[in-house]
Structure 1
Amino acid sequence: MATLEEVYTALFSPRSGSDIFASAPLLPTDLFAFGAHLLERSGAYHHVAPDVNRARSSGFRELLVDDELRARAVRTGRIWRASKPRAGRRLPPPPSRVEVLWEELEQFRDEHVFEPLVETADAPEWWMICLELVMIADEACQDIGFDPGNKFARPIRSAYVAADLGSGKEFRRIQRAPFSLSTAAEDLVCVQAKSRTPSVGCTLRSLTHNLALLPPRGQVRARWVHPPFTRTPALDDDKLGLLLIPFPYRVDENAFVSVGEHPGGGWGWFTARPTWLPLNTDRQKRSSFVTFVQDLVDRAREKGQRVNGVVFPELSLNYTQFLGLARALARDNGIDFLIAGVTHDQDHRHGNFVAIAPFFLLGRERTGTISGWEQTVLVREKHHRWKLNRSQIETYSLGLDPARSWWEDLNILSRSLDVLVYRGSSTLTTLICEDLARVDPCQAVVRAIGPNLLIALLMDGPQIGSRWPARYATVLADDPGTSVLSLTSFGLMARQNDLGQWPQSCAIGLWKDEAAGIKVLELPREADAISLQIRSVAKSENTLDGRSDGGSSHRWEYESHTGVTLEPAARPDWVRTGIGR
């Protein structure tokens, strides 16, 4: 069984012969990595509770945090946050209270991190020392994910320089955003900023407002993407409008094809051929599709709807056509981002990806002539393969043998999650279909970081409260409090409707937040898209030890949705047929 010293040595690989307890870590994120890892590994975290007046003691071990301890941790964190480096140093020294606690921890350096304890045994003394250090580190890192000038993030996060805006060279650093804010070994633990503190449960993630302890990078990597340039906040930043386009509207029965079958006959590999898309060489159709989307944006605004983001479902576009559409939308300063599921990545690798064109990262530097923004486009792959069984094949009348189980033909080369800082104080991330349903590995990261808004892209049936997307959206809305939008294309739904064996449906989307509950987003008859309007509402959150964030958190709440319809003459003929080539 590992000791405290052995754990520290594994995390930070100190120089041979150095005394690791001679002085506390200079980075509060390193202190957090060590302390939080110990609390998790020992199981100490679930004994934490705020001290309140009780009729009698429980008689069992608890880590009770009283008002004095809580105030001391907050005060010490504030001192560390406000302190300045000494001459010639990049980081300030830890406050005296941190050094005192670190010195106290030294006497337990040879203690085992985990020891089986009888129910009536007292908590090991080092547990409370470790808890206070974690509380202080969390307070010291207030706004570390949102303040670009945070001194504790600077040693880890690459600096962005506006001088190379025209060439876009600096944007490449967005693709290399750090997967951890700590110098601890990333193949053991990672540390990232966080947005939401769960209001339910008794978990390690309930202990902090500002820092999240994440799994090793080999399991899944979380990239926290901060805008390299400043932006001027708008008066209506608490309002957000999303244009949801459920393309493809039809899916040909031959779009799902076998690419390999097991000789035993039990299963096979399938791929989805995007027959709903024109060929990349068909410039006329590609241009007409871009115009179609721009007309939808204009039509929504004519109806008084905000359009800040345009969202397409899973496998709706390929990367070439995504980029062509993004180039057109980049010239619209009212649009902050384009999100779509794509069938290929930047290197033309076939698969199932989500692409984000985050125009909002440009901040005040955004103009219609900037070309370097294309370096900001983020593409990541799906984490889990789609499995088609008899029920789905028959429900959607797909051209595959229903006697077999069919697995999506994907190479899963890496698992990562992009968390983008949006409008200064909010975070946005995406998932692809099965990734929303599978607990491992990305849900652990989503729950730890607590993004304010999660958009899940699907190629699925109706998005109604009784189906699986609603169940998993509810889990994330409860813990950590993330607002979830699931969006599917209409194509498979149309096939199901054509069979007439189930109730007709046009529910292309589903919204879930803590306050409004589930909202089914139905595409009105003849409509081409849905305009979803949401708003940001301030929220006060408390940690498991009783510390408040002072109302600095917020959640996105449902406001309204309405259909957006173009005149038939404004619609390219092929768009609605599912046959783009």
Structure 2
Amino acid sequence: MKLNDIVKQILVRDIDDNSYSDFYIKQDNAKYSFFESEQSGKSLIQTLLWPMTSFHIIAYIFDTNDSYQGVVASLGQKTWSKRDREEAKEIGNEWAKYLSQSPIPRQSIPLKLHELFFEVFKERRPVGTEMQLSRLLIDENFMTNALKLLIASDQCARKIEHLLSRPKNPNLVSDYMNNISTDSGIKTLSEGLDSYGSIHVKTMTPQSGISINSLSHSIAYVKPGIDCFTLKGRTQKKNDDLYHVLILPWPLNIERDFFSIDTNPPLEMDPNNFGFFAYNNKEKITTEMVLYAINEAEKEVSFPDLVVIPECAIAKDESNLLAQELIDYFTSNSIHPPLFIYGAYDHSQPGQYGKNYLEFIYYDDFNNRNIRVDQPKHHRWALDRNQIISYKLGTKLTPKKKWWENCEINSRKIISYFDDDTHICPLICEDLARQDPIAPVVRSLGPSLVVALLLDGPQMKGRWPEKYAGVLAEDPGSSVLSVSPYGMTQRSTGLGYPPSSSVALWSDGDTTVSLDLTEKKVGISLALEKRSVEQWAADGRWQLKKALKYAGHISVGLKSNLDEIKLKVTVPQNIPVLPTAKSLDKTVLEKTIESSI
């Protein structure tokens, strides 16, 4: 296949789209300026001027042809040099200055940037042979310049990352961001089609092995097949070297009748060996309970930056109310809200599966409002004999069968949230343990923090959460927090183990620690050190990354006070259901716009 055909496939949605005059860069457009493009229609150079799109095209070519290793091996008779690296960095820095200028610059794009575009995307003669990608991938000049463009794009993205929100002053970054951002989120930072992969913000870079992930510090290429949504949040401005997470391992009590046989799912399996089960939290979680815990955490340690509640904690019909009341509270009191990540679920209906998903509430820095996003679970939990006995469920679910969770499994979607302090990817239980299809995406994105919501036993060293957290701690270098309900860890005694208070496990590559909830307390305030760590990309560039490392933790609140709050709460009548924003398509992540601060 020819290079220009690949570029066309990535950029043009409709085969009959004639908005581009051609898919080459010419020497005579070296004086191209952005203003000229507004008069002459779309051109390839205008599209390539957005670094996320240039990165997308080169990363797709390198990844699908497994040809990126040249940066640490050889490029024909040539090897990647310090001079190549410095030239790429210089081009990236000048590129970023051009895009960041306000008002929008009228001068030509940087000359070296245009020369690089030309060397990669020029029309080669004779067209029938020299433009074939297979020939170009063994051409040392093409490979050297393509690698320079990939690295320059990443360098530019690093310099303009702080502008990936709604800017006060107009510049080219804001123009491009307006083109790709919607109320349903940023599905890719590239203007290319996500059917050829997508581009997202990245934080951590793997420090061992070699993959396409090894070549960038600031933007990630995610292979097609996963709907990944980049969310840009706004943090509370405070002079604090610590990041505070409030863990609410609720419900604090789980009875065996929270689990039941479910005959609604339509999938027909061997009834002698398999069945479906349903889980229903009968210990209702209210806004007053959450606010009490936040206030206690603030009194004991600090106001939390993030609040985490485990898997399947809140039923769907209660989640809208909880989210709206939390936002209303912080808005009316002029308090910047923390991030919220909590597990939610919906009951099955005859012929329909239930749902297991997480809710993510954050203040959107681009749209300047509070937004609620959901992410589904990607793998069903299967209760086997040992788990049924361990959780003392044998009187509800026979140990002779394997019992599958009743949740639906649809398209694959993942949230990638970043702000000035951290970069978070949340997961649900089995998604942490199963390598496909989510784990490769997480490794590509390189979040500084992975938050795993579980409905599991004790979060202790030696169990499966530590094993899989260790994998992510090594590649790409993420810290991992897994959280399970206290009621579940207390229930895990059927195999002869004592009740456990280990409701969370923290792993950051340096420290792995079980977080125990003190008796008669309601939550754990986890303090994390904001530390800069040095990482290197495979091309030789180093960069300081924002990492979160364990600093300490303390249990907060009193269960007796929480019980009193439960008794005082009355259920409001005629609660309005929050509207859902329009989706990009039928399978896109649903987002609900709550209110403005």
TM-score grouping bracket, smaller chain normalisation? 0.7 to 0.9
CA distances 1:305-364 after superposition (whole Å, capped 9, x unpaired): 44333211000112343344444544352641222101139xx99411101222x44799
Q: How big is the shift at 1:220?
A: 1.1
Pair 1:541 & 2:535 matched: yes
Amino acid at match of 1:339: I
CA distances 1:279-317 after superposition (whole Å, capped 9, x unpaired): xxxxxxx6xx43333333333333334433321100011
Counterparts of 1:265 and 1:232 in 2: how far apart (Å)?
Answer: 55
Q: What residue number does 1:250 align with?
A: 253
Q: How big is the shift at 1:431?
A: 0.7
Pair 1:501 & 2:507 matched: no
Q: What residue number does 1:354 align with?
A: 358
The DSSP-based 3-state class of the residue aligned with 1:65 is coil
Measured on the aligned residues, the alpha-carbon RMSD in Å equals 3.4
> Which of the numbers 376, 383, 400 marks the counterpart of 1:381?
376
Q: What residue number does 1:290 align with?
A: 287
Structure 1 residues 137, 268: CA separation in 2 closer, same or farther (over 3 Å shift)? same
Counterparts of 1:183 and 1:441 in 2: how far apart (Å)?
Answer: 24
Q: What residue number does 1:146 align with?
A: 162
Q: What residue number does 2:242 align with?
A: 239
Alignment of 1:501-540 (within 5 A): 501-514=496-509, 516-540=510-534
Q: How big is the shift at 1:437?
A: 1.4
Counterparts of 1:96 and 1:548 in 2: how far apart (Å)?
Answer: 26
Is the 2:455–2:485 contact (alpha carbons within 8 Å) kept by the matching residues of 1?
A: yes
Q: What residue number does 1:267 align with?
A: 274
Alignment of 1:319-338 (within 5 A): 319-330=316-327, 331-332=329-330, 333=335, 335-338=337-340
TM-score norm. by structure 1 comes to 0.80
Pair 1:37 & 2:60 matched: yes
Q: How big is the shift at 1:466?
A: 0.9
Counterparts of 1:343 and 1:490 in 2: how far apart (Å)?
Answer: 18
Alignment of 1:539-578 (within 5 A): 539-549=533-543, 551=544, 553-566=545-558, 568=560, 570-572=562-564
TM-score norm. by structure 2 comes to 0.78
Q: What residue number does 1:220 align with?
A: 226
Counterparts of 1:344 and 1:153 in 2: how far apart (Å)?
Answer: 40
Counterparts of 1:80 and 1:159 in 2: how far apart (Å)?
Answer: 19
Amino acid at match of 2:177: R
Q: How big is the shift at 1:536?
A: 0.7
For structure 1, which runs of at least 5 residues remain unmatched after alignment?
A: 50-57, 161-172, 278-285, 366-371, 576-581
Is the 2:100–2:160 contact (alpha carbons within 8 Å) kept by the matching residues of 1?
A: no
Counterparts of 1:533 and 1:87 in 2: how far apart (Å)?
Answer: 39
CA distances 1:500-531 after superposition (whole Å, capped 9, x unpaired): 612442211001113x3211111222322211
Q: What residue number does 1:396 align with?
A: 391
Is the 2:251–2:281 contact (alpha carbons within 8 Å) kept by the matching residues of 1?
A: no
Q: What residue number does 2:31 align with?
A: none
CA distances 1:525-560 after superposition (whole Å, capped 9, x unpaired): 2322211111211223221101123x3x21011110
Structure 1 residues 204, 524: CA separation in 2 closer, same or farther (over 3 Å shift)? same
> Which of the numbers 395, 406, 431 marks the counterpart of 1:435?
431
Structure 1 residues 153, 386: CA separation in 2 closer, same or farther (over 3 Å shift)? farther
Structure 1 residues 309, 28: CA separation in 2 closer, same or farther (over 3 Å shift)? closer
The DSSP-based 3-state class of the residue aligned with 1:476 is helix
Is the 1:419–1:427 contact (alpha carbons within 8 Å) kept by the matching residues of 2?
A: yes
Q: How big is the shift at 1:30?
A: 1.9
Counterparts of 2:213 and 2:514 in 1: how far apart (Å)?
Answer: 30
Counterparts of 1:38 and 1:299 in 2: how far apart (Å)?
Answer: 53
Is the 1:240–1:533 contact (alpha carbons within 8 Å) kept by the matching residues of 2?
A: yes
Counterparts of 2:235 and 2:526 in 1: how far apart (Å)?
Answer: 24
Structure 1 residues 213, 234: CA separation in 2 closer, same or farther (over 3 Å shift)? same
Amino acid at match of 2:500: S
Amino acid at match of 1:12: L
The DSSP-based 3-state class of the residue aligned with 1:311 is strand
Structure 1 residues 232, 379: CA separation in 2 closer, same or farther (over 3 Å shift)? closer
Structure 1 residues 87, 272: CA separation in 2 closer, same or farther (over 3 Å shift)? closer
Alignment of 1:17-56 (within 5 A): 18-23=21-26, 24=45, 25-49=48-72
Is the 2:354–2:406 contact (alpha carbons within 8 Å) kept by the matching residues of 1?
A: no
Is the 1:430–1:455 contact (alpha carbons within 8 Å) kept by the matching residues of 2?
A: yes
Is the 2:226–2:413 contact (alpha carbons within 8 Å) kept by the matching residues of 1?
A: yes
Q: What residue number does 2:40 align with?
A: none
> Which of the numbers 446, 449, 455 marks the counterpart of 1:450?
446
Q: How big is the shift at 1:478?
A: 1.5
Q: What residue number does 2:579 align with?
A: none
Q: What residue number does 1:158 align with?
A: 178
Is the 2:100–2:172 contact (alpha carbons within 8 Å) kept by the matching residues of 1?
A: no
Amino acid at match of 2:261: S
Q: How big is the shift at 1:263?
A: 4.3
Q: What residue number does 2:218 align with?
A: 210
Is the 1:145–1:194 contact (alpha carbons within 8 Å) kept by the matching residues of 2?
A: no
Pair 1:5 & 2:4 matched: yes
Identity of aligned residues (%): 25
Amino acid at match of 1:556: L
Pair 1:470 & 2:466 matched: yes
The DSSP-based 3-state class of the residue aligned with 1:141 is helix
Alignment of 1:386-425 (within 5 A): 386-398=381-393, 399-422=396-419, 424-425=420-421
Pair 1:80 & 2:95 matched: yes
Counterparts of 1:462 and 1:326 in 2: how far apart (Å)?
Answer: 28
Amino acid at match of 1:225: L
Is the 2:429–2:453 contact (alpha carbons within 8 Å) kept by the matching residues of 1?
A: yes
Amino acid at match of 1:351: K
Count residues in correspondence.
519
Q: How big is the shift at 1:34?
A: 1.3
The DSSP-based 3-state class of the residue aligned with 2:500 is coil
Is the 1:290–1:325 contact (alpha carbons within 8 Å) kept by the matching residues of 2?
A: yes
Alignment of 1:110-189 (within 5 A): 110=130, 112-113=132-133, 124-147=140-163, 148=165, 149=167, 153-158=173-178, 175-189=183-197
Counterparts of 1:91 and 1:386 in 2: how far apart (Å)?
Answer: 58
Structure 1 residues 472, 144: CA separation in 2 closer, same or farther (over 3 Å shift)? farther
Is the 2:7–2:57 contact (alpha carbons within 8 Å) kept by the matching residues of 1?
A: yes
The DSSP-based 3-state class of the residue aligned with 2:257 is coil
Structure 1 residues 75, 115: CA separation in 2 closer, same or farther (over 3 Å shift)? closer
The DSSP-based 3-state class of the residue aligned with 2:112 is helix
Counterparts of 1:11 and 1:257 in 2: how far apart (Å)?
Answer: 48
Is the 2:525–2:553 contact (alpha carbons within 8 Å) kept by the matching residues of 1?
A: yes
Is the 2:100–2:173 contact (alpha carbons within 8 Å) kept by the matching residues of 1?
A: no
Q: How big is the shift at 1:144?
A: 4.2
Q: What residue number does 2:575 align with?
A: none
Structure 1 residues 93, 452: CA separation in 2 closer, same or farther (over 3 Å shift)? farther
Q: How big is the shift at 1:436?
A: 1.0
The DSSP-based 3-state class of the residue aligned with 2:64 is helix
Structure 1 residues 40, 254: CA separation in 2 closer, same or farther (over 3 Å shift)? same
